[in-house]
A and B are shown apart, each in its own frame.
Chain A
Amino acid sequence: MNFSRTPLVVTSLISGLAASSVSLASPVGSFEIQKFDFTSLFNQHDRAAQPQQVPWAGSFYPFGQGGIADESEQKPSYSEKYDQAFYAGSKLATDWEKLHHSCEHVDEELKKGCKDWWGHCNAWSAAAIKEPEPRESLQTPNGTFSVGDQKAYLTELWMSSDALFAGATNKSLKTGDWIYDPKSQDSVALSDDEETTNHEAFWDVTPRAFFYILTNYIGVMGTSVVIDRFTGDEVWNQPLAGYRILPIRKEDRLEPVTRNGRTLYPVRLRMKIFWAHDGVRASHVTQGFDIKKTTDDESIRVTWPNYVEYEGRLLKFTLFFSAPVETNEAGTQVVSAGRIVGQGIWNHQESRSSRPDETHPDFIWMPTVLLQGGMGESNPYIRADMVHQLPRNRISQKPVEPASVELTLLFAAGTFQSKTPDELAALLTAVLRREGIQVEVTIENLKTLPDGKIQLTLKVTAGDQARVNSILAESGYQALSESH
């Protein structure tokens, strides 16, 4: 990289990374510029990077145990303690949790799945990235809150985060032979986004996107992302604690492929990824993670300082380059490389994996600020303004619940097309919440009348009735009549 024309003074080349990372001293201080090419991204941080704030280990508060109303870890439960502190003992948060974040009210055919794997892992993943880890008890005017209490409340808040995704998915389709047959009936059917086929959805995140997201977000920007580590039909969100790219061996440089006078240079890459674990007790205080202690062999065991906090996976894939990839003798540094062309191919895509559900991430996402009320999954009684004030020791006022009124809206048959009651309830919740109306629409709020019309009955904050109607109309759901 030649900066000779710039008046800035090149003070040093970071050892061994001449092509990737240059420290410049300017009159106003020093800063670092990263290059966005394969050579630089491979070499940065000696091939092993972790985010500036490594996500903490926590609990996913399984629905099978009642979410944060679980009493097996502590009595009173996290939610009951919150109720005692902020709602004078009336069990608002606990009752809501038991109704919505447990398996009691789930249909029989879904109950087993609910007990096996449903929970707060998306929320914990986001909280572990976005919030500093609570590491000690807090004494407040509202009582003492343990590490476990604080983690439970932070996790619950992030059930409503908005997320930005890379990778399509279809969680309703079990992994089968179809993943290796792009022409099968299941493969060509559309996935959840209705733009991508199931086959495409299974095989993205592609190796190229995976490489760029990890090296750019964790390596360059020092920020973690969340992966769904279950490639198949379940969801196992985990926030990434770091990655290590293993050296490129001679046998990893595959024979070039030439077509129509153009040549591509395939190279096999091996990357270890590590994530924080959600199987520890909520009260656990994380001892830490250091990516520099991982090694260049293919073992992904994490033996320090506490093996229950972090775990990992080795992923192998091939990327195609426009020019040869040249490395040092040990393969630990790339000296030069062409640009990455195409999306690449996972090794387990070429030769069948015996456990395809535990291979590449099904999707990768970034939690964002709690802006729009999310998807209506969080406990509305665990409030951000209260939880975030806990460390500041400022809460003494109990929140006042505003008066509510019942609103009934009647819609023509077909207004909501062919949505199931569950889908419709979730959609209406989201549509209202994006405009700041804090309601939870459930299937009990919806009724199909004998003439096919749909009746929606809701409790809304007094004064919001007209807004609810206009928001729904603006979203394409014009009511025939309104009463309250």
Chain B
Amino acid sequence: MMIFKTIKSPAVAGLLTLAVSACATAKRHEAFDSAVTQAFNELEFRGNRSPAGALPIDRGSSLQKLRGRTEILVFPKLSNQSAKSRGPRIRFFGSPIRFAVTAQRLVNCRKLLAQKIQDSSHQAYFGTEVDPSLDCAILEIKQIAPEIKAGNRRNGDLLAARLYLDSNYQSYGIDWEIYRGRGASDISRVKLDPSEPSSSGLSIFPIDLPHLNSAPQDAAVGIPKDPYVRSKMKRFGASGCSSAPRYQYRDTYGSKNTVSWCDGAAWPTTIDTPRYFAITVRK
């Protein structure tokens, strides 16, 4: 391989040069090798199938339970690391933002594909890839509180996400509604690669779902110890469960995410990413 070629120092360069070159080559080789190993590990992980009975659907979860409105409490993880000064660096949870997940469509996939839905991307997303015997859903995820007045919207703000997924919680596409200023918005439609999990990107929309191939690693619901988070959870009636499968994975953007999914829950109980912690409010 080209990049593994040993750097050959000319004899005239002397022993010192040779030693330095050899050292640099070794480091270079080591760094590349480490990246290759990490990639192979990921390849191996993605090739895994979840053990039988480990998927949320095997443990009583069902998209059908998302009929009506599901509320999610999202605590943004804030930091002042972008500040251009040597002031103290702090990280803390922001005040909770409430999101609602609403099923705009939730029917058998074959039926959904036959429907004409105004301005919807469902046929292009599900296309030939979805198993028509499954149920398919179009979920709208929107911030409901605090309410942002129209005048406070700014260019590039995300107004809503529409997630297209089947009853195995496999995601097929996301519509992002983006504010463009002066009261106008447009929709960015992204068809997901089947190998990629649904990801919130750089946002705090609680749509990070583990890939189906992710096997749960243990059975602990991770709730931050931060007293502020706990008191707000209590106030809003959000709680975890005594134990739940926990999925840990790196998303498309390299973020390390942890998702806990209590048995029978229609949506992940908690989602923990570098940008937010989310907990679903039980009804």
User: B82's contact among A28, A226, A349, A370, by CB below 8 Å, is which?
Assistant: A226
Contact A34/B188 with A117-B84, A162-B76, A237-B84 known, Cβ cut-off 8 Å: yes
Complex Cα gap A169–B157 (Å)? 25
User: A28's contact among B89, B119, B190, B191, by CB below 8 Å, is which?
Assistant: B119
User: A180's contact among B27, B180, B250, B253, by CB below 8 Å, is which?
Assistant: B27
Residues from chain A with a CB closer than 8 A to the CB of B236 are none
Residues from chain A with a CB closer than 8 A to the CB of B160 are none
> How far in angstroms is the closest Cβ of chain B from A193?
7
Residues from chain A with a CB closer than 8 A to the CB of B189 are 31-34
Task: Identify the B interface with A (CB < 8 A).
Answer: 1-3, 24, 27-28, 31-32, 34-36, 38-44, 46, 76, 78-92, 94-95, 97, 113, 116, 118-119, 121, 123-125, 127-128, 146, 148, 151-157, 173, 176, 178, 180-181, 187-193, 195-196, 201-204, 226-228, 231-232, 250, 252-256, 274-276
Q: Judging by beta carbons under 8 Å apart, are A350 and B28 in contact? A: yes
User: A420's contact among B24, B88, B227, B253, by CB below 8 Å, is which?
Assistant: B88
Chain A contacts with B in 26-71, Cβ cutoff 8 A? 26-29, 31-37, 51-53, 60, 63
Q: Which residue of the partner chain A has the closest CB to B153?
A: A369
Determine whether A241 belongs to the interface, using a CB cutoff of 8 Å to chain B: no
Contact A5/B113 with A33-B189, A122-B83, A369-B154 known, Cβ cut-off 8 Å: yes
Q: Judging by beta carbons under 8 Å apart, are A426 and B88 in contact? A: yes
Q: Judging by beta carbons under 8 Å apart, are A320 and B36 in contact? A: yes
- Which segment, of A255-263, A325-333, A453-461, faces chain B? A255-263
Q: Which residue of the partner chain B has the closest CB to A24?
A: B124
- Which segment, of A87-95, A280-288, A404-412, A427-435, faces chain B? A427-435
Q: Judging by beta carbons under 8 Å apart, are B2 and A254 in contact? A: yes
A-B complex: 6 closest residue pairs judged by Cβ atoms: A342-B39, A6-B123, A476-B227, A209-B254, A345-B35, A255-B1
Q: Judging by beta carbons under 8 Å apart, are A220 and B89 in contact? A: no
Task: Identify the A interface with B (CB < 8 A).
Answer: 2-3, 5-8, 22, 24, 26-29, 31-37, 51-53, 60, 63, 110, 113-114, 117-122, 125, 129-132, 162-166, 168-169, 171-172, 180-182, 192-193, 195, 204-206, 208-209, 212-213, 216-217, 220-226, 228, 235-237, 251, 254-255, 257, 259-260, 262, 264, 266, 318, 320, 322, 339, 341-345, 349-352, 363-366, 368-372, 374-375, 377, 384, 388, 420, 422-423, 425-427, 430-431, 434-435, 474-476
Q: Which residue of the partner chain A has the closest CB to B231?
A: A474
Q: Which residue of the partner chain B has the closest CB to A168?
A: B274
Complex Cα gap A24–B124 (Å)? 9
Q: Judging by beta carbons under 8 Å apart, are A350 and B32 in contact? A: yes
Contact A264/B39 with A166-B253, A431-B228 known, Cβ cut-off 8 Å: yes
Complex Cα gap A226–B2 (Å)? 35
Complex Cα gap A409–B191 (Å)? 54
Complex Cα gap A430–B91 (Å)? 9
Complex Cα gap A117–B256 (Å)? 32
> How far in angstroms is the closest Cβ of chain B from A127?
10
Q: Could you list some 19 contacts between A and B, CB below 8 A?
A: A26-B119, A27-B118, A33-B190, A114-B86, A130-B155, A166-B255, A168-B274, A193-B91, A205-B254, A213-B253, A220-B188, A221-B188, A254-B1, A342-B42, A350-B32, A364-B202, A366-B203, A370-B152, A430-B78
Complex Cα gap A195–B248 (Å)? 15
Residues from chain B with a CB closer than 8 A to the CB of A163 are 78-79, 82
Residues from chain A with a CB closer than 8 A to the CB of B116 are 7, 27
Q: Which residue of the partner chain A has the closest CB to B255?
A: A166
Q: Judging by beta carbons under 8 Å apart, are B252 and A132 in contact? A: no
Residues from chain B with a CB closer than 8 A to the CB of A3 are 123-124, 127
Q: Judging by beta carbons under 8 Å apart, are B156 and A130 in contact? A: yes
> How far in angstroms is the closest Cβ of chain B from A14?
14
Q: Judging by beta carbons under 8 Å apart, are A192 and B226 in contact? A: no
Q: Judging by beta carbons under 8 Å apart, are A204 and B275 in contact? A: no
> How far in angstroms is the closest Cβ of chain A from B225?
9
Q: Judging by beta carbons under 8 Å apart, are B202 and A217 in contact? A: yes
Contact A423/B88 with A7-B116, A254-B1 known, Cβ cut-off 8 Å: yes
Contact A216/B190 with A262-B40, A423-B88 known, Cβ cut-off 8 Å: yes
> How far in angstroms is the closest Cβ of chain B from A35?
5
Complex Cα gap A22–B231 (Å)? 48
Q: Judging by beta carbons under 8 Å apart, are A5 and B228 in contact? A: no
Complex Cα gap A363–B82 (Å)? 9
Q: Judging by beta carbons under 8 Å apart, are A164 and B76 in contact? A: yes
Complex Cα gap A384–B149 (Å)? 13
Complex Cα gap A352–B69 (Å)? 54
> How far in angstroms is the closest Cβ of chain B from A291?
17
Residues from chain A with a CB closer than 8 A to the CB of B27 are 180-181, 352
Complex Cα gap A145–B204 (Å)? 36
Give the most central of A24, A369, A377: most B CB within 10 Å. A369
Q: Judging by beta carbons under 8 Å apart, are B255 and A33 in contact? A: no
Contact A221/B176 with A164-B203, A365-B202 known, Cβ cut-off 8 Å: yes
Complex Cα gap A11–B273 (Å)? 40
Q: Judging by beta carbons under 8 Å apart, are A31 and B187 in contact? A: yes
